[in-house]
């Protein structure tokens, strides 16, 4: 208890972190646990990135930097937005923060006031609703279902927009469902936004390179340039370049919003880590060809997991089109287990850590991450099958 704030009381700790901690604890006790609860690539950080970080240390890049990142960092971020996402922005419209997570935190805290509404499609990434509530906003859930590939339609969106709607949080490819919005779907969403000039969009494109549809990544700010002045696009290197520990995220958006985020960051962290910035510059400016190999590896794992899950009685999943997560429906098993949290604990007892769907504003299922090796995934599927055998 202690003297914690009213704002803190509005939020809950991350359930994905809780499940990962529980798995680590059981492992510490000598149990053999496969963790499919965590959202990070199992690949090693590319060597040229590691070398750039070492060089930064040796060359004395160990001091404060400008709040939103060094000039070089902002240039690399602008290059990334233009080359990889099709969003052409001057460096005055980009900023860098400690991960995409902090970018979203800054954007919400810098803009949301008490009573404002933020539409969050569900199942959602665990941090979205907590950040919105911490900022004082109200979460307006926009439920999606497996039948629609966990995507909302333009009509679904329009029906949730009201006079207090300030933001739509849009994540494609998405965590925890792997849902990918096509260019056509985004154009439809753009039409709704034109009719609702007050609504801003936070487009979380952190999984952009992990798209298995064969179509190029589609994103709102590039597709609807007339709306770009109310779209904040968040990206980074964590998921794409296996750099989760470096904590670098990048944002592109209207200048007023980027300045507002920097204002907040100037008093929070001061600036993102100087060494990590140098590493991220190398990630964005260096070779990108390995991304295609990683994508292909993830696609094969996706196929393995989808087939394995759908072969287990009581479980089903649509094919995720992106990211490295699979949202599994286990509704037929709820009579037997009670709820999805109890089902997740049962699976943990059988040596596999997953996260219950309820942690993401979903229900009667669980999320598994397929950012793990083939053998590991096969063993996990075998354990899940055994654990759920009638």
| Residue number of the CB atom closest to ligand PLP | 99
- Between 208 and 227, CB nearer to ligand PLP: 208
Element (H, E) at 147: none
- Between 99 and 351, CB nearer to ligand PLP: 99
Task: Report the candidate in 324, 260, 255, 247 with the shortest Cα–Cα distance to residue 41.
Answer: 324
Bridge-based pairing of strands 200-204 and 165-171 is parallel
C-alpha of 88 from chain center? 22
Exposed/middle/buried for residue 34 (C-beta within 10 Å: 0-12, 13-18, 19+): buried
* Smallest distance from ligand PLP to CB 98, Å: 7
- Between 207 and 337, CB nearer to ligand PLP: 207
Task: Report the candidate in 367, 243, 388 with the shortest Cα–Cα distance to residue 305.
Answer: 367
Assigned token pair, 327: 């949202």
* Structure letter (DSSP) for residue 46: P
Contact 306, 149 (CB under 8 A): no
- Between 98 and 384, CB nearer to ligand PLP: 98
- For residues 301 and 371, give the distance between their C-alpha atoms in angstroms, rounded to a whole number: 8
Query: CA dist 5 to 9, 107, 128, 317, 356, Å?
Result: 6, 20, 19, 40, 28
- For residues 99 and 234, give the distance between their C-alpha atoms in angstroms, rounded to a whole number: 10
- Between 137 and 249, CB nearer to ligand PLP: 249
* Smallest distance from ligand PLP to CB 121, Å: 11
* Smallest distance from ligand PLP to CB 335, Å: 32
Exposed/middle/buried for residue 383 (C-beta within 10 Å: 0-12, 13-18, 19+): middle
* H-type alpha helices, the chain: 6-9, 15-28, 47-58, 71-85, 99-111, 127-135, 154-160, 183-195, 220-223, 255-268, 274-285, 290-310, 334-337, 340-349, 374-388
* Smallest distance from ligand PLP to CB 237, Å: 7
- For residues 229 and 247, give the distance between their C-alpha atoms in angstroms, rounded to a whole number: 26
Q: Is 317 helix (H, G, I), strand (E, B) or coil?
A: coil
Contact 272, 250 (CB under 8 A): no
- Between 208 and 312, CB nearer to ligand PLP: 208
214: phi > 0 → left, psi -120 to 50 → alpha, else beta; which?
left
* Smallest distance from ligand PLP to CB 201, Å: 14
Interacting residues toward ligand PLP by CB under 6 A: 39, 99-101, 125, 171, 175, 204, 206, 236, 238, 244, 249
* Smallest distance from ligand PLP to CB 58, Å: 26
- For residues 239 and 199, give the distance between their C-alpha atoms in angstroms, rounded to a whole number: 28
- Between 100 and 308, CB nearer to ligand PLP: 100
- Between 36 and 388, CB nearer to ligand PLP: 36
- Between 333 and 367, CB nearer to ligand PLP: 367
- Between 239 and 337, CB nearer to ligand PLP: 239
* Smallest distance from ligand PLP to CB 246, Å: 9
* Smallest distance from ligand PLP to CB 314, Å: 27
- For residues 314 and 7, give the distance between their C-alpha atoms in angstroms, rounded to a whole number: 40
């Amino acid at each position: 208890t202690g003297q914690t704030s009213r704002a803190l009381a509005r939020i809950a700790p991350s359930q994905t972190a809780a499940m990962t901690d529980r798995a680590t604890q059981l492992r510490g006790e000598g149990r053999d646990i496969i963790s499919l609860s965590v959202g990070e690539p199992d690949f090693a950080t590319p060597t040229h990135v590691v070398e750039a970080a070492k060089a930064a240390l040796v060359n004395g890049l160990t001091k404060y930097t400008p709040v939103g990142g060094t000039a070089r960092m902002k240039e690399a971020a602008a290059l990334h937005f233009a080359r990889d996402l099709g969003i052409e922005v001057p460096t005055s419209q980009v900023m860098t923060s400690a991960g995409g997570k902090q970018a979203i935190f800054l954007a919400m805290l810098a803009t949301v006031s008490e009573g404002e509404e933020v539409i969050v499609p569900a199942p959602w990434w665990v941090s979205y609703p907590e950040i919105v509530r911490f900022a004082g906003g109200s979460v307006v859930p926009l439920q999606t279902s497996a039948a629609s590939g966990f995507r909302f339609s333009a009509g679904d969106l329009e029906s949730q927009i009201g006079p207090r709607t300030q933001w739509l949080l849009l994540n494609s490819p998405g965590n925890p469902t792997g849902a990918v919005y096509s260019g056509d779907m985004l154009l439809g969403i753009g039409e709704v936004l034109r009719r609702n000039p007050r609504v801003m969009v936070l487009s979380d494109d952190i999984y952009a390179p992990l798209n298995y549809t064969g179509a190029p990544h589609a994103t709102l700010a590039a597709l609807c340039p007339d709306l770009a002045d109310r779209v904040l696009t968040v990206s980074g290197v964590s998921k794409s370049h296996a750099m989760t520990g470096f904590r670098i995220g990048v944002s592109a958006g209207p200048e007023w919003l980027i300045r507002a985020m920097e204002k907040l960051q100037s008093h929070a962290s001061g600036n993102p880590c100087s060494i990590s910035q140098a590493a991220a510059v190398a990630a964005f400016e260096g070779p990108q060809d390995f991304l295609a190999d990683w994508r292909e590896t993830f696609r094969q794992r996706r196929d393995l997991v989808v087939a394995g899950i759908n072969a287990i009685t009581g479980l089903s999943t649509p094919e995720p089109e992106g990211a490295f997560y699979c949202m599994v429906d286990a509704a037929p098993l709820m009579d037997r287990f009670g709820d999805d949290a109890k089902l997740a604990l049962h699976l943990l007892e059988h040596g596999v850590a997953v996260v219950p769907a309820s942690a993401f504003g979903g229900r009667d299922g669980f999320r598994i991450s397929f950012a793990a090796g083939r053998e590991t995934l096969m063993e996990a599927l075998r354990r899940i099958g055994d654990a759920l055998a009638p």
